[in-house]
Each structure stands twice: as structure tokens, then as C-alpha cells.
Structure 1
Amino acid sequence: MTSESLAAAIARVGNPVDLLRNTAASAHTFPVAPEFTNWRSEQRAWAETCALLDQSHHMTDLFLEGPDALRLLSDLAVNSFAGFGVNKAKQFVAVDPGGRLIGDAILFHLDDELFDLVGHPMVIDWVLFHLERGDYRVVAERDENSAVRTSGPPKFYRYELQGPSAAAVLEQATGTALPETKFFNMADFDIAGHAVRGLRHGMAGQPGFELFGPWADGEAVLAALLAAGAGHGLVRAGAKAYSTANLESGWVPAPLPAIFGDDPLLQEYREWLPASAVGAIGGSVDSDDITDYYLTPYDIGYARNVKFDHEFVGRAALEELAKNPPRTKVTLVWNNDDVTAAIGSLLGKGLGAKYFDLPKIRYALHQEDKVLVNGEQIGISLDCGYIANERAMVSLATIATEHAEPGTEVTVVWGEEPNSAKPQVEEHRTWPIRATVAPVPFVQFARTSYRRR
């Protein structure tokens, strides 16, 4: 590692919270076109017809190949690997020795000893660190996202088709009926004469496939999909719309990695990890204790992923936590009048609220805003933005279980006090916004039908 290590940066600043709240790192962006039409229509497409989202550029791929690849992954994941054969995928979740989240990614089992771990770099870095320090017969190939890749295109193209007419588009593009494919399983297709693999899933609570293959085939496959979709209402969705898809399905992106503790493993990791690998903290949570920003698998809905059928980093801590998880993932629907007042405060004189950069209003990679009941903090509001299909401003949040009943009234504190030095933060004042607890996933189709199909 040639840049300043995370350990050195913390020593220089004195506190990980001060380092991450005031980092000069720019806001996280998706390196694809912001819009093809407009983000409202593009959001509507995955609810009414079909949206095509280009996922080729914004995630990091880690290809792991060798006889010990499965053992490496199993040593680090809370997930069970029983029955995890070729052409299956899973949400790979990793924790620190204390059971707090390092992060998550999608793990594809591509061949007998070949895996592809796709996601934000937090988990990728954690796996590579353990590979380098451990005794594993594994060869790793890291393919950075297009925002930081120094040369050349991605190894794979990835196109997500989702929405009510996604199946019809794919059937027309392939010229055959879709095979029966279970959720998070893969199938093989032929599109425009090219072999294509498809993962059965969806990102916005709608049915769909994530289609991928060698980059050189991508333009031909894209052209065939667009032609097939012409009669089925297919709309290309850009970065703005795509960034909000998780608000409907309930996936929490980019939790702050719990890597700042005193455990010797974490101390070694911070010496290995460049400081630039950890993103900024934003929001009204203002504790000086970095552990107050941590999340656990139970906080954000990963209880179903945790399986104690194997040894993994953090198992003992999670076994204790599983007995009585204190927080629950929910959707918070922000009060229309309070949101309107906050946006209106940007007009006229005086300090206004923090700017709402629609549709995704998160302004730091790790967004953490206070959730209050009667003035007391009972949780953390995380990713947030506007869903045109529901005409609502919402956030994904984790709150004390006793307040998680749908219909419960809470308050989200929007903004920062004092204002941090992040370049994306202008002078503003904090703004209380009432919110109502709602289920997660928020969209009815995702809650009732999507996984069964």
C-alpha cells in the first residue's frame, strides 16, 4: 500500500469520527449517464413496464479461484455455504470479531472453484486482507469500478432488467420461453448470438434478471435488449433513478465498516488498509464514539442470513446478539409538510435546511441521521430519497424494536450541527422532520409476491 494507511490517518487526526466526518472525499457517484429521459419516468418504468439499468460500472468485482476459495469465503461470512453450488448466488455478509457489520456484497458461484464477489470495496478489501495473511490456495483478480479503474473497460458488462414486462422482453430477446429459475439462481441465455448468464433477482422490488457476460459482447447484447423492449415499454434508467431502487426493496447500501476497534486483527487491518478506502460519514448523529455509528446484521434485516453451522469471524458475538436483537429495520415515510417546509427554507433570508439533492438525498457514503421519540434517540436513519412511484420522501432506518410498529410517529433530524467540513456540505441548520414507521420493503409487491416468483 503506497498511500497513507487508515491507522496513520487516525493517528494524525486523533479520532476516527473527526477523520470521517470531515474528509475531503467527494460524494459517491454512479459512473453512468445520470438520466436517459428523466428520473421520475425511469423510476416509473420498473413499476409499470420494464427498466434497463446498466450495472457495469459502479461496483467492484473480486474474482477468487482455487481449491480454498470456498473455505476463505466461509471463514469470513455469516452465511451458510451448505448446498451453495455452481449457478447460485447469495448476499455475502461479513462482520468484525464483535459481530458488527463490515459490509455485504453479492457472491456468484461461477464454476467449481471460481467465485465473483461484487459490491462496494469494504467487503472486497476485507476478503483480500484475509487472503494475504492466511493460508489459502486462491488466486485473486480485482476489477475496480469504473470511477477508479486506471485503464481499460470492466471485465463484465451487467444489465438489470426489472419490471412487470421484464420477462416478456427477455423472452423476445432470446426467442424462447424463460426457464424456471429460483430466486438468486442463475440461468444461461443466448442473446444476439452471445452466451449470457442471468441472475434471477431484482433491485426495486420487481421481478427481473441481472444479465452479464464478457465486456466485448456488451454492446451487441444491449442493442438486442433495446430492440426487444421496444414493444414492451422498456425504458433505460440512469444513475439518478438507479440510485433510489434500493429504497423500494429495502436494501441498505454502504453501512460504515466496523473496523476501528481495539482487537489486534482490526489494528492490523487498519495498518494494511489505505485511508482513502473508507468513505465519509454524514448526518445528524454526532457522537464522538465511532461505535455509535456501527450496525449489526440484525439491525438491517440480515437475520435470515446468519447461520451458525460453520466457524466464521464474529460468530461468538453474533450468537449472543441473536438472543435479543435490540433494533429492527424499517422504512420511515417523511412528513410531506415538514419536507416542504425544509425545501422552502432554501428560499428567502436566513439559514435554511441541508439541501435535498433529489432523488437520492444522501450526501455521504455513510449517511446516519438521528431518529427521535420524545426528544430521545431511538435509532438511525440511513439511506434516504424520493420515490416518484409512491410520491414520498422515505428513508431506510434501524430503530429500537419497541418503536418499530408500523404507524409509529418518530422524528428524523436532517442536517448536521456543527456543519462538517465535507465539500458537499454547505452552511445550514438542522431541521426536524416528522416521519411514520412503515414496513420494509416499502413497496407492497416486494413484500408479498416478489421473492415467491
Structure 2
Amino acid sequence: MKNLQELIDSKSNLVDYFYNDTISQYHKSRTSLFATLIAPEYTNWREEQKAWRESAVLFNQSHHMPVLYVKGPDAKKLLSYLSPCSFANLATDRAKQYIACTPRGHHVGDCILNYYGEDEGFELISGMPVLNWVRYHGETGGYNVEFRFDPTTPYSPDGRRTKYRFQLEGPNARKILDEICEGGWPEIKFFHTAYVSIAGCKVHVLRHGMAGHAGAEISGPFDDMDRVRNAILKAGEAYGLLQAGTRTYYSTPLEDGWIPYPLPGIYTGEELRSYREWLSADSWEANMQLGGSLYTGNIEDYYWTPWALGYERLVKFDHDFIGREALEAQLKAPKRVKRSLKWNEEDVMKVFASQFGDGPMYKAIEMPTAYFGWPQADEVRSTDGRLVGMSQYCGYNINERDMISLCGIDEDYAAIGTEVVLTWGEVNGGSRKPHVERHQQTTIRATVSSIPYSKAAQAKLRAVI
């Protein structure tokens, strides 16, 4: 098979295939691809989670995020047409969270977008489904644009990237940045950017919070990586700075409320056939790995909309874009919205207790991240049994000492404090995924909660640092 469409045509049930027989790129990254580049833990994930709330933490993002560079006379035109995001306020000192939708209004993907002016163009960071979507339309739509794709380190022919990238986070981040930046740290509004000098190196900084706290993304030429990192670590010694490994890194969405990598809504619809034929049979989209209690025969049951992902603030109807009519119609209809779920402690303990003694054994809850699909898809039901939502990202936050998940839930059940029931574990004793053990399903009561989950994150996420 040469492309995704041929792969789909060869499967009688695409959901079953994604549920049982794929190994996602994410699962590979958790196990072996990045272990020699970024340690799973530098101390232990519990202390590293505490550091983003109590002192400071440094995440290394240099190796795992693909980047697409886009430039040319039609670059802005292309990117604007593909996204509900407005480009009316485009500026070189302002980043964007960039999203794209299908003609039917289903979410394709999201990424961070930086703009460096007409000569250098745009930088799209992470989010393979949206990077592929942009490349396809740029290559097939007659646009005068140039692309340069920077793959993740394991897939780079020489093991190098164009840029290094770090995230410095926590209440002491500002003190560290003040000390290492020549002339001090400039005041930067949320999602705005600036250039500073660290250890004699020109550094691009983005005011951005990953773990829901005051933080900054720091990037620059790959050759400067060690010099800049060493300066950060040396200054951070006096402020309790810890390096965070991948186990901690992948738990950050539970605090800031971002839902990573939902299933792109591109597997159905004749209008997207040519796109599926453009995608290869071993593409990211061909290796999605569904996991969790939601199991249906319809792949569209796993699609998301911008509203369910909490992106309503990004959707602007000030320009023409793919999916505009569909999104306008969705506004007038019942829809899902994004919420956190706080899992009931007694029911969580029931799952842990099932690992000992006699009786049914439920799907083990791993910590700090508990999901076992990429994406995860767990049923969320009302107390009277109605299916009212889909829970995706789940895990443990030591700062709150709670099990939390992120979900899209029907508006009628989205009020803070509403009691719902999450089904935990897979159907038929578990799928064929090699990392999923045999188990029985059970239910976990949950309480609808705010996004971000913690009050501390709500207060600090958008603060000037």
C-alpha cells in the first residue's frame, strides 16, 4: 500500500485496526526513540512536577517536536486560508496557537506559529497532522511558497535540528531569566515574543506556559544549545531549578488543560480523498493508536471540533477559510465544550486495590500519565447512563494530589460540579496492543471541573513574566 486511502480501503473496520494493530509514533517516543536524548526522569517525576509549582523546572523540547518552515509570496495567504485563526494582528513579536479544520468543521491539528517577517517567513512547531495539512495544500493548491521540514532528531539524517528549544517554568523562572539575560528580562505579554542575549547567544523567547504557570520558551541555533542550557542550569541552582524528564513533560497538559493530538478528522468524506491519497501509508495519520473504553464502528465518533477542544477564542470569522460554513453552523447547534474531570478517589483506589488479592483485575492506572492510547478515548456518561462526552488525556497531578482527565462534554452536562461516570478499561478484556494487559472494565465517578484545573494555574498562566 502506498497511501492512507489504500490502507483505509484495505480495512473492513478502521476503528478496529487503530484500536488493535497500530503502534503510534508517540508510543515509540515514550519507549526508545528519545531515551538517549532526554532522560525519562532526571530526579523523579514527583519532585519534577512539584518544581513547576514550587520553584522552577526546565523542559528540553529540542528533539521531539517536528517543525515546518514556510515562506514565499503566498505564505500568509495559504496559512490564513487553512485556519480559523485571524491574521489581522500578525506581527513578528507575537506568536499564535494555530489550528486547522476540515470542510466539515472537524479538527485537523494545532501547533505554535512564529512569524519572522517576509524574508524568513513562518515557523510551525509540532503537530504533525496540521503540518501535513499545510504541506498538502501548499504543494497542490498552486501557492507560491517554499517548505522546509525539520524532522525530530531520531529521523534527522545527521541527528541535528535547526534549533534547540527549552521551556523554563515556575514561580522562580523570572528570577532565573533576570539573572541570565544580559540587561535583564524584558516584560513580555502572554504569547508575545522578543530577542534576548544569554551567555553571548542571541535567543528567541516566547511568553508561554506549558504546566499552567509563568514560563517562557527559549530557542536558538542548535549549535548554541549546550551553552544556553548550561547558563540556565548554573543560574538555576540558587532557585531550586530541576531538569524535567519525559515522564514529567508528558504530564503537563493535566495542569494547563491543553488536549494533545486529538484524532484528526480526515478519514472520511469524499472531499478529502485526494488528501488521504497524498498521505503515505506509514504517515503519522496512518499510525494513530486508539485506546480506552469508547469503542464504536464509526471513526467519526472520535472526531473533535474547535469548541470541544476549547479553541472558541481562536475562531475568527473575519476572513475566508476552510471549514468556515461548518463552524458557523456548529455555533447554532448543541455542541461539546472542554472541561477537566476530577476522578473519584474511592473509585481510583478500587482500581489500585484490584491489582492485589482475588477478584476482578481492572486496567492498571499508570502514573503520572495513565492513558494507553494515542489518542485515548474513554466514555463519559451521565449518572443515568447517557453518553455525554469523551475523555482523552488522563493522569495524576501531585500538586493537586488528584487523578484528572481532559474531556469534551455536552454543554448540558458541562456545569462545574456536575457528577458524571467514566468507563475505565477496554472492551472484551482489552485490545491487542502489546502494552495493554488483560483486564475487566469498571466505572469511575468523576466531577466536572474547570480548565485549567488548578486555581494556581488559572492565576499564573497568562501573567506577565
TM-score class, shorter-chain normalisation, is over 0.9
Per mean C-alpha deviation after superposition, the further-off stretch among 246-255 and 443-452 is 443-452
How many Å apart are 1:28 and its aligned residue? 5.0
Q: Distance in 2 between matches of 1:246 and 1:340?
A: 23
1:251 aligns to 2:258 (yes or no): yes
> After alignment, is 28-37 or 98-107 more displaced?
28-37
Match of 1:409 in 2: 419
- Aligned residue type for 2:110: D
Which residue pairs with 1:340 in the alignment?
Answer: 349
Deviates more, 1:405-414 or 1:219-228: 405-414
Aligned residues of 1:28 and 1:365 also touching (Cα < 8 A): no
Alignment of 1:36-435 (within 5 A): 36-113=42-119, 114-264=121-271, 266-276=272-282, 277-278=284-285, 279-373=288-382, 374-418=384-428, 419-435=430-446
1:166-188 CA distance string (max 9 Å, x none)? 01101111143221211111111
1:446 counterpart = 2:457: yes
Alignment TM-score, normalising by the size of structure 2: 0.94
Q: What is the letter of the counterpart of residue 446 of structure 2?
A: A
- Please state whether the residue corresponding to 1:172 is helix, strand or coil: helix
Deviations 1:45-86 (A, max 9, x none): 110111000011111100111111111111111100002111
Q: Which runs of 5+ in 1 are unaligned?
A: none
Q: Secondary structure at the match of 1:152?
A: coil
Runs (5+) with no aligned partner, structure 2: none
- Cα distance in 2, alignment partners of residues 94 and 230 from structure 1: 41
| Aligned-partner residue type, residue 452 of structure 2 | P
Give the 3-state SS of the residue equivalent to 2:29 in structure 1.
coil
C-alpha distance 325-204 of structure 1, shift in aligned 2 (>3 A): farther
8 A Cα contact 1:256 1:294, kept in partner? yes
Q: SS of 1:132's equivalent?
A: helix
How far did residue 88 of structure 1 move? 1.5
Alignment match, 1:29: 29
CA RMSD of aligned residues (A): 1.4
Query: Alpha-carbon deviations, 1:208-262, whole Å to 9, x = none?
Result: 1100001100000000000111111111111011111111111000010000222
Deviates more, 1:4-13 or 1:240-249: 4-13
Report if the CA contact (8 A) 1:256-1:295 is conserved: yes
1:148 deviation in Å? Answer: 3.5
Letter in 1 for 2:102: D
2:13 aligns with: 15
| Partner Cα separation in structure 1 for residue 263 and residue 343 of structure 2 | 23
Per-residue deviation, 1:400? 1.1
1:6-48 per-residue CA deviation (whole Å, 9 max, x = no partner) reads 1111111123212211223152535221000000000011101
Measured against aligned partners, the alpha-carbon deviations of 1:337-364 in whole angstroms (never above 9, x if no partner) come to 1111112212234541112221111111
Contact in 1 for aligned 2:334/2:410 (Cα 8 Å): no
Count matched residues: 450
Contact conserved, 1:6 with 1:274, CA < 8 A, in 2? yes
* Residue aligned with 1:111, SS: coil
Q: How far apart in 2 are the matches of 1:137 and 1:360?
A: 43
Residue 36 of structure 1 contacts residue 237 of structure 1 at CA under 8 Å; is this kept in 2? yes
